Amino acid sequence: MTATIADLAAGYRDGSRSPVEATEECLAAIAALDGRVGAWQAVYADEALASAKAAEMAVTATRDSGAPLGPFWGVPFALKDIVDVEGRVTTAGSAEWVDRVSPATAVVAQRLLDAGGVLVGKTKTVEFAMGGWGTNQHMGTPWNPWDADVLRTPGGSSSGSGAAVAAGMVPCAVGTDTGGSVRLPAALCGIVGLKTTEGLLPIDGIVPLSHTLDTPGPLVRTVLDAALMFDAMLGTQAGEVERDWLAGTGRYGALRAAFEGGLAERRIGCLSDAERAGVEAPQLVAYDAALEVLAGLGAEVVPFDPPTSFEEMKNTRFVIVTAESYYYYGSMMEDPASKVDERVRARVLPGASISASEYIAAMVQRRIDLAEFAAAFEGFDAMVTPTTPMLPLPVDEADETNTPALFTRAANFLALCSTTVPTGVSPPGPVGAGGGLPTSIQFMCRGGDETLSLSLAAAYEAARGPMPNPPLWAGGE
The residues annotated with a catalytic role in the active site are 80, 157, 181
C-alpha separations of 18 from 5, 60, 115, 232 in Å: 12, 9, 16, 19
156: which DSSP letter?
A: S
Question: How far apart (Å, rounded) are the C-alpha atoms in residues 418 and 437?
Answer: 22
Q: Which of 129, 127, 128 is nearest to 138 (CA)?
A: 127
Residue 355: is it exposed, middle or buried by C-beta count within 10 angstroms (0-12/13-18/19+)? exposed
Beta strands 76-80; 118-123: pairing state: parallel
Report the alpha-carbon angle 431-435-438, nearest 5.
130
Q: Which of 233, 414, 238, 206 is nearest to 310 (CA)?
A: 414
6: which DSSP letter?
A: H
C-alpha separations of 259 from 218, 337, 359, 436, 443 in Å: 18, 53, 41, 29, 14
Is the C-alpha dihedral spanning 93, 96, 101, 106 positive or negative?
A: negative
